Structure 1
Amino acid sequence: MQKDAYTLILEAIEGGTYKPGDRLVESELAERLGVSRTPVREALQRLETQAMLTRDGRSLIVSSLDHNQLAELYAVRTELEGLAARLAARHATEEELRVLQSMVAEDHALAGGDPRALSRANKRFHKQIHLASHNRFLVQQLDLVHRSMALMANTSFAAEGRDEVALAEHDVIVDAIARRDGDAAYLALKNHISQAFETRLRVEAGEIRTR
Protein backbone atom coordinates (compact mmCIF):
# COMPACT_ATOMS: atom_id res chain seq x y z
CA MET A 1 0.00 0.00 0.00
CA GLN A 2 1.35 3.39 -1.02
CA LYS A 3 2.08 5.74 1.86
CA ASP A 4 0.54 9.19 1.87
CA ALA A 5 2.50 12.43 2.22
CA TYR A 6 1.66 12.76 5.92
CA THR A 7 3.05 9.32 6.74
CA LEU A 8 6.18 9.86 4.66
CA ILE A 9 6.98 13.22 6.29
CA LEU A 10 6.26 11.87 9.78
CA GLU A 11 8.55 8.88 9.15
CA ALA A 12 11.27 11.25 7.94
CA ILE A 13 11.01 13.20 11.20
CA GLU A 14 10.98 10.01 13.29
CA GLY A 15 13.93 8.64 11.36
CA GLY A 16 16.02 11.76 11.88
CA THR A 17 16.03 12.90 8.26
CA TYR A 18 14.40 16.11 9.48
CA LYS A 19 15.55 17.20 12.92
CA PRO A 20 14.17 19.76 15.40
CA GLY A 21 14.72 23.23 13.95
CA ASP A 22 14.85 22.06 10.33
CA ARG A 23 12.74 24.10 7.92
CA LEU A 24 10.27 22.18 5.74
CA VAL A 25 9.61 23.71 2.35
CA GLU A 26 6.44 22.63 0.57
CA SER A 27 7.88 22.66 -2.96
CA GLU A 28 11.03 20.75 -1.96
CA LEU A 29 9.00 18.10 -0.13
CA ALA A 30 6.65 17.67 -3.10
CA GLU A 31 9.61 17.10 -5.41
CA ARG A 32 11.34 14.75 -2.99
CA LEU A 33 8.20 12.67 -2.38
CA GLY A 34 7.14 12.71 -6.02
CA VAL A 35 3.68 14.12 -5.31
CA SER A 36 1.84 17.37 -5.99
CA ARG A 37 1.99 20.25 -3.54
CA THR A 38 -1.64 19.86 -2.40
CA PRO A 39 -1.19 16.64 -0.35
CA VAL A 40 2.08 18.02 1.03
CA ARG A 41 0.34 21.23 2.10
CA GLU A 42 -2.42 19.21 3.78
CA ALA A 43 0.15 16.99 5.53
CA LEU A 44 2.08 19.99 6.83
CA GLN A 45 -1.12 21.56 8.16
CA ARG A 46 -1.98 18.30 9.95
CA LEU A 47 1.50 18.05 11.48
CA GLU A 48 1.29 21.66 12.62
CA THR A 49 -2.06 20.93 14.30
CA GLN A 50 -0.41 18.01 16.10
CA ALA A 51 2.41 20.33 17.28
CA MET A 52 4.99 18.33 15.32
CA LEU A 53 5.71 21.49 13.32
CA THR A 54 5.96 25.09 14.51
CA ARG A 55 5.39 28.22 12.45
CA ASP A 56 8.35 30.56 12.12
CA GLY A 57 7.06 33.55 10.22
CA ARG A 58 5.70 32.10 6.98
CA SER A 59 7.77 28.93 7.29
CA LEU A 60 7.22 25.69 9.17
CA ILE A 61 10.02 24.11 11.17
CA VAL A 62 10.24 20.80 13.03
CA SER A 63 9.31 21.49 16.64
CA SER A 64 11.69 20.98 19.54
CA LEU A 65 11.00 20.22 23.21
CA ASP A 66 12.23 22.45 26.01
CA HIS A 67 13.19 21.05 29.43
CA ASN A 68 9.69 21.36 30.92
CA GLN A 69 8.00 19.79 27.90
CA LEU A 70 10.48 16.92 28.02
CA ALA A 71 9.73 16.33 31.71
CA GLU A 72 5.98 16.43 31.04
CA LEU A 73 6.30 13.99 28.16
CA TYR A 74 8.32 11.51 30.21
CA ALA A 75 5.90 11.78 33.14
CA VAL A 76 3.02 10.72 30.89
CA ARG A 77 5.06 8.11 29.05
CA THR A 78 6.25 6.49 32.27
CA GLU A 79 2.72 5.88 33.54
CA LEU A 80 1.26 4.77 30.21
CA GLU A 81 4.14 2.40 29.44
CA GLY A 82 3.90 0.94 32.94
CA LEU A 83 0.18 0.34 32.46
CA ALA A 84 0.84 -1.32 29.10
CA ALA A 85 3.30 -3.73 30.74
CA ARG A 86 0.81 -4.53 33.52
CA LEU A 87 -1.93 -5.29 31.00
CA ALA A 88 0.47 -7.28 28.80
CA ALA A 89 1.28 -9.50 31.78
CA ARG A 90 -2.44 -10.18 32.05
CA HIS A 91 -3.47 -10.44 28.40
CA ALA A 92 -0.46 -11.33 26.21
CA THR A 93 -0.85 -14.54 24.25
CA GLU A 94 1.84 -17.20 24.31
CA GLU A 95 2.73 -16.21 20.74
CA GLU A 96 3.17 -12.57 21.73
CA LEU A 97 5.39 -13.60 24.63
CA ARG A 98 7.61 -15.63 22.33
CA VAL A 99 7.92 -12.64 19.97
CA LEU A 100 8.97 -10.41 22.88
CA GLN A 101 11.51 -12.98 24.06
CA SER A 102 12.99 -13.35 20.57
CA MET A 103 13.19 -9.56 20.22
CA VAL A 104 15.24 -9.09 23.39
CA ALA A 105 17.53 -11.99 22.43
CA GLU A 106 18.17 -10.53 18.96
CA ASP A 107 18.57 -6.96 20.20
CA HIS A 108 21.52 -7.91 22.43
CA ALA A 109 23.52 -8.42 19.23
CA LEU A 110 23.07 -4.71 18.47
CA ALA A 111 24.81 -3.55 21.66
CA GLY A 112 27.75 -1.27 20.96
CA GLY A 113 26.54 -0.62 17.43
CA ASP A 114 24.62 2.13 15.68
CA PRO A 115 22.49 4.06 18.23
CA ARG A 116 19.84 4.66 15.57
CA ALA A 117 19.51 0.92 14.93
CA LEU A 118 19.16 0.35 18.66
CA SER A 119 16.55 3.09 18.82
CA ARG A 120 14.52 1.46 16.04
CA ALA A 121 14.75 -1.91 17.79
CA ASN A 122 13.66 -0.25 21.03
CA LYS A 123 10.59 1.24 19.34
CA ARG A 124 9.63 -2.18 17.96
CA PHE A 125 10.03 -3.69 21.41
CA HIS A 126 7.85 -1.11 23.12
CA LYS A 127 5.24 -1.27 20.34
CA GLN A 128 5.00 -5.02 20.84
CA ILE A 129 4.27 -4.50 24.54
CA HIS A 130 1.64 -1.88 23.68
CA LEU A 131 -0.09 -4.33 21.34
CA ALA A 132 0.17 -7.14 23.91
CA SER A 133 -1.81 -4.99 26.35
CA HIS A 134 -4.86 -5.61 24.13
CA ASN A 135 -6.23 -2.16 24.93
CA ARG A 136 -6.80 -0.12 21.77
CA PHE A 137 -7.28 3.18 23.61
CA LEU A 138 -4.00 2.80 25.47
CA VAL A 139 -2.22 1.95 22.21
CA GLN A 140 -3.63 5.12 20.61
CA GLN A 141 -2.39 7.30 23.46
CA LEU A 142 1.04 5.69 23.40
CA ASP A 143 1.26 6.25 19.64
CA LEU A 144 0.75 9.98 20.28
CA VAL A 145 3.42 9.98 22.99
CA HIS A 146 5.93 8.15 20.79
CA ARG A 147 5.21 10.53 17.92
CA SER A 148 6.26 13.41 20.19
CA MET A 149 9.41 11.48 21.17
CA ALA A 150 10.59 12.04 17.59
CA LEU A 151 11.06 15.71 18.46
CA MET A 152 14.12 14.90 20.56
CA ALA A 153 17.33 15.48 18.66
CA ASN A 154 19.15 12.38 19.90
CA THR A 155 18.31 8.94 21.20
CA SER A 156 19.34 8.02 24.74
CA PHE A 157 21.05 4.98 23.17
CA ALA A 158 23.74 7.38 21.96
CA ALA A 159 24.89 7.79 25.57
CA GLU A 160 27.94 5.71 26.42
CA GLY A 161 26.99 2.52 28.25
CA ARG A 162 23.23 3.02 27.95
CA ASP A 163 22.66 0.25 25.40
CA GLU A 164 23.79 -2.67 27.59
CA VAL A 165 21.89 -1.33 30.60
CA ALA A 166 18.71 -0.72 28.61
CA LEU A 167 18.80 -4.18 27.06
CA ALA A 168 19.22 -5.73 30.51
CA GLU A 169 16.16 -3.72 31.60
CA HIS A 170 14.26 -5.18 28.64
CA ASP A 171 15.12 -8.67 29.91
CA VAL A 172 13.63 -7.87 33.32
CA ILE A 173 10.45 -6.46 31.75
CA VAL A 174 9.85 -9.48 29.54
CA ASP A 175 10.60 -11.88 32.38
CA ALA A 176 7.94 -10.19 34.53
CA ILE A 177 5.39 -10.27 31.70
CA ALA A 178 6.15 -13.95 31.04
CA ARG A 179 5.61 -14.72 34.74
CA ARG A 180 2.26 -12.92 34.54
CA ASP A 181 3.41 -10.62 37.33
CA GLY A 182 1.62 -7.37 36.47
CA ASP A 183 3.02 -5.39 39.40
CA ALA A 184 6.61 -6.38 38.62
CA ALA A 185 6.11 -5.64 34.89
CA TYR A 186 4.64 -2.23 35.72
CA LEU A 187 7.53 -1.31 38.00
CA ALA A 188 10.19 -2.70 35.64
CA LEU A 189 8.95 -0.68 32.69
CA LYS A 190 8.50 2.48 34.77
CA ASN A 191 12.08 2.10 35.98
CA HIS A 192 13.26 1.57 32.40
CA ILE A 193 11.67 4.84 31.22
CA SER A 194 12.90 6.69 34.30
CA GLN A 195 16.46 5.56 33.64
CA ALA A 196 16.20 6.65 30.00
CA PHE A 197 15.01 10.10 31.09
CA GLU A 198 17.81 10.41 33.64
CA THR A 199 20.36 9.40 31.01
CA ARG A 200 19.03 12.05 28.64
CA LEU A 201 19.26 14.72 31.35
CA ARG A 202 22.81 13.71 32.22
CA VAL A 203 23.81 13.91 28.55
CA GLU A 204 22.34 17.41 28.32
CA ALA A 205 24.21 18.39 31.51
CA GLY A 206 27.47 17.11 30.02
CA GLU A 207 27.92 14.32 32.60
CA ILE A 208 27.78 11.55 30.00
CA ARG A 209 29.39 11.54 26.57
CA THR A 210 27.58 10.42 23.45
CA ARG A 211 28.91 8.31 20.63
Structure 2
Amino acid sequence: MASKPAQGDAYSLILEAIDVGVYRPGDRLVESELAERFGVSRTPIREALQRLETQALLTRDGRSLIVASLDHNQLSELYVVRAELEALAARLAARHASAEEVRVLQDMVQDDRKLMDDPSALARANRRFHHQIHLASHNRFLVQQLDLVHRSMALLATTSLAAEGRGGDALAEHDAIVRAIAAHDEAKAAEALRTHISKAFMTRLKLDAARVEGSL
Protein backbone atom coordinates (compact mmCIF):
# COMPACT_ATOMS: atom_id res chain seq x y z
CA MET A 1 0.00 0.00 0.00
CA ALA A 2 1.37 3.43 -0.95
CA SER A 3 2.11 5.74 1.96
CA LYS A 4 0.22 9.00 2.27
CA PRO A 5 2.07 12.25 1.59
CA ALA A 6 4.06 13.68 4.50
CA GLN A 7 3.45 17.09 6.04
CA GLY A 8 6.00 18.70 3.72
CA ASP A 9 4.15 17.28 0.73
CA ALA A 10 0.82 18.57 2.05
CA TYR A 11 2.40 22.00 2.42
CA SER A 12 3.69 21.90 -1.16
CA LEU A 13 0.33 20.75 -2.51
CA ILE A 14 -1.57 23.58 -0.82
CA LEU A 15 1.05 26.17 -1.77
CA GLU A 16 0.95 25.08 -5.41
CA ALA A 17 -2.85 25.24 -5.40
CA ILE A 18 -2.63 28.84 -4.18
CA ASP A 19 0.11 29.62 -6.69
CA VAL A 20 -1.87 28.39 -9.72
CA GLY A 21 -5.09 30.06 -8.59
CA VAL A 22 -7.11 27.07 -7.38
CA TYR A 23 -7.41 29.03 -4.15
CA ARG A 24 -7.40 32.80 -4.43
CA PRO A 25 -7.03 35.60 -1.87
CA GLY A 26 -10.06 35.54 0.41
CA ASP A 27 -10.89 31.87 -0.20
CA ARG A 28 -11.51 29.80 2.93
CA LEU A 29 -9.41 26.67 3.43
CA VAL A 30 -11.10 23.80 5.26
CA GLU A 31 -9.09 20.88 6.63
CA SER A 32 -11.55 18.18 5.64
CA GLU A 33 -11.97 19.50 2.09
CA LEU A 34 -8.20 19.78 1.58
CA ALA A 35 -7.64 16.28 2.95
CA GLU A 36 -10.18 14.88 0.52
CA ARG A 37 -8.86 16.87 -2.46
CA PHE A 38 -5.24 15.84 -1.96
CA GLY A 39 -5.75 12.38 -0.48
CA VAL A 40 -3.94 13.33 2.72
CA SER A 41 -4.96 12.74 6.33
CA ARG A 42 -6.07 15.77 8.31
CA THR A 43 -3.02 15.83 10.61
CA PRO A 44 -0.46 16.78 7.90
CA ILE A 45 -3.03 19.17 6.40
CA ARG A 46 -3.44 20.87 9.79
CA GLU A 47 0.36 21.14 10.20
CA ALA A 48 0.72 22.54 6.68
CA LEU A 49 -1.98 25.15 7.32
CA GLN A 50 -0.23 26.21 10.53
CA ARG A 51 3.03 26.59 8.62
CA LEU A 52 1.35 28.67 5.91
CA GLU A 53 -0.27 30.86 8.56
CA THR A 54 3.11 31.40 10.23
CA GLN A 55 4.48 32.52 6.86
CA ALA A 56 1.56 34.99 6.51
CA LEU A 57 0.25 33.23 3.41
CA LEU A 58 -2.94 32.45 5.31
CA THR A 59 -4.76 34.70 7.74
CA ARG A 60 -7.59 34.32 10.25
CA ASP A 61 -11.17 35.34 9.56
CA GLY A 62 -12.85 34.51 12.82
CA ARG A 63 -12.17 30.82 13.33
CA SER A 64 -11.52 30.20 9.63
CA LEU A 65 -8.26 30.35 7.71
CA ILE A 66 -8.37 32.22 4.42
CA VAL A 67 -5.80 32.89 1.75
CA ALA A 68 -4.17 36.22 2.58
CA SER A 69 -4.23 39.20 0.25
CA LEU A 70 -1.74 42.01 -0.24
CA ASP A 71 -2.76 45.64 0.05
CA HIS A 72 -1.13 48.36 -2.07
CA ASN A 73 1.64 49.08 0.43
CA GLN A 74 2.48 45.42 0.93
CA LEU A 75 2.56 44.92 -2.84
CA SER A 76 4.95 47.86 -3.23
CA GLU A 77 7.18 46.56 -0.45
CA LEU A 78 7.26 43.09 -2.00
CA TYR A 79 8.28 44.41 -5.42
CA VAL A 80 11.03 46.61 -3.93
CA VAL A 81 12.59 43.62 -2.20
CA ARG A 82 12.07 41.38 -5.21
CA ALA A 83 13.71 43.83 -7.61
CA GLU A 84 16.84 44.15 -5.49
CA LEU A 85 17.22 40.45 -4.73
CA GLU A 86 16.54 39.43 -8.34
CA ALA A 87 19.04 42.02 -9.58
CA LEU A 88 21.65 40.58 -7.22
CA ALA A 89 20.89 37.09 -8.51
CA ALA A 90 21.39 38.25 -12.10
CA ARG A 91 24.66 39.97 -11.17
CA LEU A 92 25.98 36.81 -9.51
CA ALA A 93 24.74 34.64 -12.37
CA ALA A 94 26.74 36.80 -14.80
CA ARG A 95 29.77 36.09 -12.62
CA HIS A 96 29.27 32.41 -11.82
CA ALA A 97 26.93 30.75 -14.35
CA SER A 98 28.41 27.85 -16.27
CA ALA A 99 28.14 27.62 -20.05
CA GLU A 100 25.52 24.89 -19.57
CA GLU A 101 23.43 27.05 -17.25
CA VAL A 102 23.53 29.90 -19.75
CA ARG A 103 22.43 27.54 -22.50
CA VAL A 104 19.49 26.36 -20.40
CA LEU A 105 18.38 29.98 -19.92
CA GLN A 106 18.69 30.63 -23.66
CA ASP A 107 16.63 27.54 -24.43
CA MET A 108 13.96 28.64 -21.95
CA VAL A 109 13.56 31.99 -23.70
CA GLN A 110 13.15 30.25 -27.05
CA ASP A 111 10.75 27.60 -25.76
CA ASP A 112 8.59 30.14 -23.94
CA ARG A 113 7.79 31.92 -27.20
CA LYS A 114 5.45 29.02 -27.95
CA LEU A 115 3.35 29.92 -24.89
CA MET A 116 2.43 33.46 -25.91
CA ASP A 117 -1.28 32.64 -26.17
CA ASP A 118 -1.47 30.92 -22.78
CA PRO A 119 -0.87 33.39 -19.90
CA SER A 120 -1.12 30.68 -17.23
CA ALA A 121 1.48 28.46 -18.90
CA LEU A 122 3.65 31.50 -19.57
CA ALA A 123 3.42 32.46 -15.88
CA ARG A 124 4.61 28.98 -14.86
CA ALA A 125 7.44 29.19 -17.38
CA ASN A 126 8.31 32.65 -16.05
CA ARG A 127 8.70 31.23 -12.55
CA ARG A 128 10.95 28.46 -13.87
CA PHE A 129 13.08 31.02 -15.72
CA HIS A 130 13.57 33.20 -12.67
CA HIS A 131 14.33 30.21 -10.47
CA GLN A 132 16.98 29.10 -12.95
CA ILE A 133 18.66 32.51 -12.63
CA HIS A 134 18.50 32.15 -8.84
CA LEU A 135 20.27 28.80 -9.07
CA ALA A 136 22.85 30.19 -11.50
CA SER A 137 23.81 32.76 -8.86
CA HIS A 138 25.41 29.89 -6.93
CA ASN A 139 24.47 31.53 -3.62
CA ARG A 140 22.28 29.28 -1.47
CA PHE A 141 21.33 32.03 0.99
CA LEU A 142 20.10 34.29 -1.80
CA VAL A 143 18.12 31.41 -3.30
CA GLN A 144 16.45 30.82 0.07
CA GLN A 145 15.44 34.48 0.39
CA LEU A 146 14.09 34.56 -3.15
CA ASP A 147 12.07 31.42 -2.47
CA LEU A 148 10.38 33.30 0.40
CA VAL A 149 9.66 36.27 -1.87
CA HIS A 150 8.17 34.05 -4.56
CA ARG A 151 5.95 32.30 -2.03
CA SER A 152 4.43 35.69 -1.27
CA MET A 153 3.99 36.29 -5.01
CA ALA A 154 1.54 33.37 -4.92
CA LEU A 155 -0.89 35.70 -3.12
CA LEU A 156 -1.36 37.80 -6.26
CA ALA A 157 -4.66 36.80 -7.80
CA THR A 158 -3.61 37.34 -11.40
CA THR A 159 -0.41 37.30 -13.42
CA SER A 160 0.83 40.52 -14.97
CA LEU A 161 1.54 38.42 -18.07
CA ALA A 162 -2.21 38.35 -18.72
CA ALA A 163 -2.08 42.02 -19.72
CA GLU A 164 -2.29 42.62 -23.45
CA GLY A 165 1.19 42.74 -24.98
CA ARG A 166 2.98 42.02 -21.69
CA GLY A 167 3.93 38.45 -22.63
CA GLY A 168 5.96 39.53 -25.66
CA ASP A 169 7.59 42.39 -23.79
CA ALA A 170 8.51 40.10 -20.88
CA LEU A 171 10.16 37.58 -23.19
CA ALA A 172 12.15 40.36 -24.85
CA GLU A 173 13.27 41.45 -21.38
CA HIS A 174 14.20 37.85 -20.52
CA ASP A 175 16.30 37.72 -23.66
CA ALA A 176 18.15 40.90 -22.66
CA ILE A 177 18.83 39.47 -19.21
CA VAL A 178 20.24 36.24 -20.63
CA ARG A 179 22.39 38.10 -23.15
CA ALA A 180 23.96 40.11 -20.33
CA ILE A 181 24.55 36.99 -18.24
CA ALA A 182 26.11 35.19 -21.22
CA ALA A 183 28.40 38.18 -21.77
CA HIS A 184 29.40 38.13 -18.06
CA ASP A 185 28.30 41.76 -17.83
CA GLU A 186 27.30 41.92 -14.16
CA ALA A 187 26.08 45.52 -14.12
CA LYS A 188 24.02 45.12 -17.28
CA ALA A 189 22.49 41.84 -16.07
CA ALA A 190 21.47 43.41 -12.77
CA GLU A 191 19.99 46.47 -14.45
CA ALA A 192 18.13 44.37 -17.04
CA LEU A 193 16.57 42.25 -14.31
CA ARG A 194 15.68 45.27 -12.16
CA THR A 195 14.03 46.94 -15.17
CA HIS A 196 12.12 43.74 -15.91
CA ILE A 197 10.67 43.62 -12.38
CA SER A 198 9.85 47.36 -12.49
CA LYS A 199 7.87 46.93 -15.71
CA ALA A 200 6.03 43.92 -14.29
CA PHE A 201 5.11 46.01 -11.23
CA MET A 202 3.83 48.89 -13.35
CA THR A 203 1.73 46.45 -15.37
CA ARG A 204 0.24 44.99 -12.20
CA LEU A 205 -0.58 48.45 -10.84
CA LYS A 206 -2.41 49.26 -14.08
CA LEU A 207 -4.35 45.99 -13.91
CA ASP A 208 -5.34 46.67 -10.30
CA ALA A 209 -6.39 50.24 -11.15
CA ALA A 210 -8.54 49.00 -14.03
CA ARG A 211 -10.13 46.37 -11.81
CA VAL A 212 -11.00 48.95 -9.15
CA GLU A 213 -12.41 51.32 -11.77
CA GLY A 214 -14.52 48.52 -13.20
CA SER A 215 -16.03 47.80 -9.79
CA LEU A 216 -17.10 51.42 -9.17
TM-score category, normalised to shorter length: over 0.9
State the partner residue of 2:173. Answer: 169
Query: What does 1:1-211 correspond to in 2, within 5 Å?
Result: 4-111=9-116, 113-206=117-210
Q: Quick check: 27-36 or 99-108, which moved more?
A: 27-36
Measure, in 1, the Cα distance between the counterparts of 2:45 and 2:208. 34
Give 1:74 shift: 0.0
Q: What is the RMSD of the two structures over their aligned residues, measured on CA atoms?
A: 1.3
- What is the alpha-carbon distance in structure 1 between the residues aligned to residue 164 and residue 74 of structure 2? 24
Once the two structures are superposed, residues 150-175 of structure 1 have per-residue CA deviations (whole angstroms, 9 ceiling, x without a partner) of 00000000101100101000010000
Question: 2:80 is aligned with what amino acid?
Answer: A
Please give the secondary structure, in 2, of the residue aligned with 1:153: coil
Unpaired stretches in structure 2, ≥5 consecutive residues? 212-216
Question: In the alignment, residue 193 of structure 2 is paired with which amino acid?
Answer: L
CA distance in 1, matches of 2:156, 2:147: 16
Q: Percent identity?
A: 74
Partner of 2:214: none
Query: What's the TM-score, normalizing by structure 1?
Result: 0.95
CA distance in structure 2 between the aligned counterparts of 1:35 and 1:85, rounded to whole angstroms? 38
Mind listing any 5+ residue stretches in structure 1 that lack a counterpart?
A: none
Q: How does the TM-score come out when normalised to structure 2?
A: 0.93
